[in-house]
Chains A and B, each alone.
Chain A
Amino acid sequence: MIYFNNVSKIYKDAVALDDVTVTITAGEFVSVVGHSGAGKTTLTKMILADDKPSLGTVFFESIDVHKLKNKDLTKLRRRIGVVFQDFKLLPNKTAYENIAFAMEAVGKTDEEIASDVPHVLELVDLSHRIFHFPNQLSGGEQQRLAIARAIINQPELIIADEPTGNLDPINTHEIVQILKKINDLGTTVILATHNRGVIDSIGKRVITMENGKIVRDSKHTK
């Protein structure tokens, strides 16, 4: 599904990715682990074409994502759900509107939005917060809302970049369980984290990164 072919990303004074080659197949749950600055976030940004590689190519199925025109890139991003450490919710929109916006972006009708949004909010246990703005929600609730937004359009891939970085252990556990459930339903999940404990609780493939390089790639079973 995703293929990195000798990808390097060099910033002015640092190497973020150093000759990375990796393949991720459909339906996998892949955890990318490493310290801050190891290159995890750059790796995920490359899939979304949010950043360009200095060398190499990134394929989503048979598409070279960095050769896409703006319009086609928009279409590609609609096939990917993204969850960030800092949630990246729309602050001036309520929980309902945040999810509705993602549905509007892919051209869903008002009727579909009205029926699906309450359902997905119920799934992440936020039914009682439907008309609250992000700043009225706790960190855990904001992250659950971000996950709800990421899965609402039934994407083929979920990218979660440090989704538990700002959360306490209870909320971290909840978020990991939700991601596992999403993967069980057939969606590919890429989880970038520096938290070993999180990876251990998942028990699936782990890619370890250091200084922009993949130093280990193994099925991780407890």
Chain B
Amino acid sequence: MVKLFGTVSTLSDIVILMAMTDLKRIIKSGFINFKRGGSVSVAAVLQVLNTLAVIVVIILLQAVLYSSLNQIKDKVDVTIYFTTNAGEDKIMLLKSSLEKLPEVAQVSYTSADTALKLFRDRHVNDYSTIAALDEIGGNPLGAYLNVKAKEISQYESIANFLQGDDALVSGPTSIVEKVNYHQNKLVINRLNNIISGAQRLGFLLTLYLIISSLIITFNTIRLTIFIAREEIGVMRLVGASKMRVRGPFMVEGVIYGIIATFTILILFWPITAWLGRNMTSFLGLNLYDYYVSNFLQIFAIILLSGILLGVISSFLAVRKYLNK
């Protein structure tokens, strides 16, 4: 029994050893083929590089798009103006019930005194307004709540909530002077449409660029393998297994991906640095800071895309000639 197990272990050792030897030979052949491929290898690397460049540009464009959209979204809010005799306890009650709404991102309270101070500061050079204010005496301004929703589309439901809260908002005892949502409704809706349109367009553009780059890269790699189609036939005729024929081409695909990844990531370092120095105010985002702080994620996406692109293209392209 012991001897039997001993034999099995020796056999499995031999199988593992053979598989390791095969793997070593496949990897070595891949490197040698890449080196001897010369201009064909360079062309394939350049094509993978183009596709990866498109992916990096898309990542950066998405960052710019989302940062711009966020900035626009940040400028949109709903303000609830209270009557001058509204009690602070009632306002705070409304504030806390607003904060409980899932759509609400933030509610900020400005007291009547602060509102007056802000008004005076804003009109410090407007002599007639300040004089009119002094003439009235006291504080004609009420407190207000500034509400920010998580998404632009959610302002309507917040406005509906305020309308539904009868005790506070409507009737003779209403403490609410006005809610500016209805005045801004048209602008907010239009902005909402523009933002969702921009996101949809961005997605379609991304999809188009990625698909077209993938097809071009696949065809370039297919062309490099087309050149070696007779070689593939000869390898099969001398008894090489499918994996032994296909393996080196896939290793070459991995090499294309790795070289293209490192080249593209190095190239984008100075490019984003230049964009960060000269285009930050135009783009609304410092692309260099974005590139550096997200470098590991971008590196992982690009490396994975590069390797998968090379390996899958090679795998599919060789299959055509292996089955002949």
> A residues engaging B (CB < 8 A)?
48, 50, 70-71, 74-75, 77-78, 82, 88-92, 101-102, 104-107, 109-110, 149, 153
Contacts and interface: CB of A to CB of B under 8 A. Distances in A.
Nearest to B240: A105
Nearest to A102: B238
A82 B237 contact: yes
Interface of B: 18, 21, 25, 32-33, 36-37, 228, 230-231, 233-242, 244
Nearest to A48: B237
Given A101-B235, A104-B25, A109-B21, A88 B241 contact: no
B158 to A, nearest CB: 66
A74 B237 contact: no
A90 B231 contact: yes
A105 B241 contact: yes
Contact of B237 (A77, A91, A106): A77
A104 B234 CA distance: 14
B contact patch SS = helix
Contacts of B18: 107
Given A88-B230, A91-B231, A92-B231, A82 B238 contact: yes
Contact of A74 (B33, B37, B228, B241): B241
Contacts of B241: 71, 74, 105
Contact of B21 (A77, A110, A149): A110
Task: Report, nearest first, the 3 A-B pairs whose CB atoms are least far apart.
Answer: A78-B239, A105-B240, A77-B239
B239 A74 contact: yes
A75 B239 CA distance: 7
B151 to A, nearest CB: 56
Contacts of B33: 92
A92 B242 CA distance: 19
B239 A89 contact: no
A105 B244 contact: yes
A58 to B, nearest CB: 16
30 contacts: A50-B237, A74-B236, A74-B239, A74-B240, A74-B241, A75-B239, A77-B238, A77-B239, A78-B239, A82-B238, A88-B230, A88-B234, A89-B234, A90-B231, A90-B235, A92-B33, A92-B231, A102-B239, A104-B25, A104-B240, A104-B244, A105-B235, A105-B238, A105-B239, A105-B241, A106-B239, A107-B18, A110-B21, A149-B238, A153-B239
A178 to B, nearest CB: 18
A119 to B, nearest CB: 18
B38 to A, nearest CB: 10
Most buried by B among A48, A50, A82, A92: A92
Contacts of A149: 238
Contacts of B21: 109-110
Contacts of A104: 25, 240, 244
Contacts of B238: 77, 82, 101-102, 105, 149
A47 to B, nearest CB: 12
B21 to A, nearest CB: 7
Contacts of A110: 21
Contacts of B32: 92
A90 to B, nearest CB: 5
Nearest to B238: A102
Contacts of A102: 238-239
A70 B228 CA distance: 21
Contacts of A74: 236, 239-242
B240 A101 contact: yes
A90 B244 contact: no
A71 B241 CA distance: 7
A92 B236 CA distance: 16
